[in-house]
Amino acid sequence: MYKTHLYLLIASIMLLTNSCKQQSLELSLAPIFSDHMVLQQQTKVAFWGKSKPNQKVIVRGSWGESSSAITDSDGFWELYLFTPKAGGPFDIQVKNKNNSILLSDILIGEVWLVSGQSNMDWKLNQCNNCINNQDQEIKNANYNEIRFFNHPQDLSGKIVNNQKWKIVTPENASKKADFNGVESFSAAGYFFARELHKELNVPIGIIGAYWGGTRVEAWTSRKKLTELTSFKLPSINKKEVSMKDYKGIINSYKKINDSVAKLNELEFGFKTFNLTLKPDQKPDLESWKNLDLNDKEYSNINFDDSHWQNWEKKYDDLSYASLSSRFENIFDPEDFLLTNGTIWLRTKINIQDINSDFELIYEDGADDSDQTYFNGKLIGNTISWSKERRYIINKSNLKIGENILAIRLTDLDGPGGFNGKIILKNVKNKFEIPIDQFKFIHHAFFINGQFIVHGYNHEELLDISKFLKENIHRGVVYGGANEYSILYDRILRNIIPFTLKGALWYQGEANTRNFEDYQTLFSGMIDDWREAWGYNFPFYYAQLAPFPEAGTLGVREAQRKTLLTTTNTGMAVLMDIGEKDDIHPHNKQDVGKRFALLALDKQYGFDYTSSGPVYKSHQTNGNYLTVDFSSKGSGLDFKGDNHDFEIAGEDNEFYDAHTKIINNKLRLYSKNVINPIHVRYGWKNWTVGTLVNKEGLPASSFTTID
């Protein structure tokens, strides 16, 4: 998974323009205003920036409209300017008494915000062959009237000042994904914009605000999170956030986590450690290297590991079915406490040829971080879940006969472990080190940014795991992109109140561990954004595609329920495009098209079928069930043979059901259920959805039991 763990830099929101023909410290625009931007048509659009206190600022569009405002005592100004119908290009002049800024090549059309985590962040050229028909799509990405503004994935507030709106060109589309996410643009957002542009024939502006591996809590204001939960968060209501504000918040979080650490030590004897990161945008390898979890002895060549557990596969990790080297192979994949955190592995390797260096290879990477020791010496230190490791073992560090390989492997979220084979080779020899040759110990949990060292052996850990999941004390995340409200404060505050038509959202993978809370948090975030912008804009989101990770089904169901309870929303169902071995479906074209269908149908007056079948009701008829749906389009249909419906009686025991379409409804039957009263569909983390309407749009998974 696309995972990111960064340190929060303390800085105020920067409001210096990055695109003016004449720049001045006495007059500035928010960074989102630049040449080549797109403004929402036929409405009042927001402009804001800074000037001297109590000074008049005028914004004038070349289409003939102007507006003015007087700056407040801090020099902040905000105003609204009427826009014409779609067209352009236009110029916009911003001026005060002594200074002027000119913005050029401005188009008027439809503006959408696209946000979420890595699946929305996924670029056309994210990696080789990770978008369907990638080469041709990049070649064809040539649309002067589709423009993107990507907010950088930067918590410092610095990089955004140099960011500009960009035109969709093959050159921009071909740029590789960069660390700050500013060079290229969202594939799903692009395919959405392309469909809208084709149907509406107007300019389309896309504002990208996304960050891989982030939770919904990071995108929600402190005020809203406090309303939604019993946990009281420090609140910031000002438009600008000072260094003092953030220092106070961080100190508050530290005090909370210190208290939590003391409780866990008092009640369970656990020791809590924090990973100190440097305030930059690069993975801090030195901090990982020096991270002391009271485990340094495990790397020593003479350490006695006889009491450790033999690595033996107990469970199947469906996303890596051919392997036995995943955390989810030795612990229950549904047990988030045990499948995340730090595991140490050790093995003995017999070497007779010590005349040349060896290379140790972890094919396809190790998820997420490893510190690898050979005969007690650190030979490798990497933070990347998917990067192949190639570590050199100097011949001076080799011994004839028995050598010791020790690995500290840490998974911070989602699936973890080795993604491929472990290979050792030199110029003459090459051999695989089987995973079942290792002994291991689970050393520390990783919960909300804290390492909690527990001290249990393997059997003790299995026995007490359920109790700990319910009773261990959890701190709060701070110091990175998943800190509560950090992306709301450091990204969305730079965009609010830029006038939008609506918003698209693709996220949830990072919330599989707390899927029980997701409906409340997600619907709360939608309300939060609408309150911040001041109007009930349409909000369309992608339901998670099936994937064999625990909690995926729980998030999908929470998303389905959000559709039923939150107004002016739509859900792009992706039940048919999931990939068993990749949480990032390559078919981003259908993601964009389904978003576009929702917008065209609900916002732009096109009479399109924009959703797959939606469960409506069911009725018992003797020994079978009849299930009805809305959004059937031209009629119900199946795409594939595995229909994945189950029914149950009063005992709530579900059995596979035979399915048949009769009179545009489903008839379900199982010889194991005499009096069926419940039905569910696609009720697994990993499945392939087959129920569609004849327009080809899939139905969501669902259950009739809460």
Single residue among 578, 602, 626 that ends a domain in this structure: 602
Q: Is residue 256 part of a domain?
A: no
> What is the per-residue pLDDT for 240?
55
Residue 8 has pLDDT above 50, yes or no: no
Task: Indicate if 48 and 136 belong to the same structural domain.
Answer: yes
> What is the per-residue pLDDT for 622?
92
Q: Is residue 17 part of a domain?
A: no
Q: Is residue 219 part of a domain?
A: no
> What is the per-residue pLDDT for 180?
59
Question: Residues 157-173: pLDDT tens digits?
Answer: 888 888 999 999 999 88
Report CA-CA distances (Å) from 56 to 23, 51, 67. Answer: 17, 9, 10
Residue 77 has pLDDT above 80, yes or no: yes
> What is the per-residue pLDDT for 32?
97
Other CB atoms within 10 A of residue 68 CB: 14
Residue 15 has pLDDT above 70, yes or no: no
Residue 578 has pLDDT above 90, yes or no: yes
Question: Residues 522-531: pLDDT tens digits?
Answer: 999 999 999 9
Task: Indicate if 595 and 621 belong to the same structural domain.
Answer: no
Question: Residues 396-446: pLDDT tens digits?
Answer: 999 999 999 999 999 988 789 999 999 999 999 999 999 999 999 999 999
Q: Is residue 248 part of a domain?
A: no
Task: Indicate if 528 and 653 belong to the same structural domain.
Answer: no
> What is the per-residue pLDDT for 492?
97
Task: Indicate if 594 and 637 belong to the same structural domain.
Answer: no
Q: Is residue 77 part of a domain?
A: yes
Cβ atoms of residues 594 and 573 within 8 Å: yes
The alpha-helical segments, DSSP class H, found in 218-358 are 222-228, 243-268, 285-290, 327-330, 336-339
Residues whose CB falls within 8 Å of the CB of residue 83, separated by 6 or more in sequence, listed in order: 39, 40, 41, 42, 43, 44, 45, 61, 63, 65, 108
Question: Residues 243-288: pLDDT tens digits?
Answer: 556 566 667 778 888 888 999 999 999 999 987 544 333 446 788 8
| Paired sense of beta strands 44-51 and 27-29, if any | antiparallel
Residue 16 has pLDDT above 60, yes or no: no
The whole domain housing 160 covers 27-211+491-602
Task: Indicate if 443 and 527 belong to the same structural domain.
Answer: no
**Tell me, what DSSP letter sits at residue 563?**
H
Question: Residues 340-396: pLDDT tens digits?
Answer: 999 999 999 999 999 999 999 999 889 889 999 999 999 999 988 888 999 999 999
Q: What is the b/e burial string over 434-446, where b = at least 16 CB atoms within 10 angstroms of the residue's CB? A: ebeebbbbbbbbb
Task: Indicate if 66 and 203 belong to the same structural domain.
Answer: yes
CATH of the domain at 423: 2.60.120.260
Task: Indicate if 48 and 141 belong to the same structural domain.
Answer: yes
The dihedral through the CA atoms of 22, 23, 29, 31 has a sign that is positive
> What is the per-residue pLDDT for 521?
95
pLDDT band at 1 (very low <50, low <70, confident <90, very high): very low
Q: Is residue 243 part of a domain?
A: no
Single residue among 437, 471, 505 that ends a domain in this structure: 471
Whether the bond between 72 and the residue before it is cis, its omega within 30 degrees of 0, is no
Residues whose CB falls within 8 Å of the CB of residue 270, separated by 6 or more in sequence, listed in order: 264, 452, 453, 454, 455, 472
CATH of the domain at 79: 3.40.50.1110
Query: How many residues belong to the chain?
Result: 706
Write the DSSP string, 597-615.
Answer: HHHHHHTS------S--EE
pLDDT band at 321 (very low <50, low <70, confident <90, very high): low
Task: Indicate if 618 and 589 belong to the same structural domain.
Answer: no
Cβ atoms of residues 279 and 7 within 8 Å: yes
Domains contained in the chain, number: 3
> What is the per-residue pLDDT for 368?
87
CA gyration radius, the chain: 27
Question: Residues 460-474: pLDDT tens digits?
Answer: 999 999 999 889 998
Task: Indicate if 660 and 535 belong to the same structural domain.
Answer: no
Task: Indicate if 411 and 508 belong to the same structural domain.
Answer: no
Mean pLDDT lowest for which of 41-55, 180-194, 547-561?
180-194
Task: Indicate if 57 and 105 belong to the same structural domain.
Answer: yes
If you average pLDDT over every residue of the chain, what do you get? 90
Q: Is residue 571 part of a domain?
A: yes
Question: Residues 669-693: pLDDT tens digits?
Answer: 999 999 999 999 999 999 999 999 9
The alpha-helical segments, DSSP class H, found in 476-587 are 486-490, 518-533, 552-565
Task: Indicate if 441 and 467 belong to the same structural domain.
Answer: yes
Q: Is residue 224 part of a domain?
A: no
Q: Is this prediction's pTM over 0.75? A: yes
Mean pLDDT lowest for which of 118-132, 173-187, 513-527, 635-649?
173-187
Q: What percent of the chain has pLDDT over 90?
A: 74
Residue 20 has pLDDT above 50, yes or no: no
Question: Residues 200-255: pLDDT tens digits?
Answer: 999 999 999 999 989 999 999 989 998 987 656 666 555 555 555 656 666 777 88
Single residue among 441, 471, 501 that ends a domain in this structure: 471
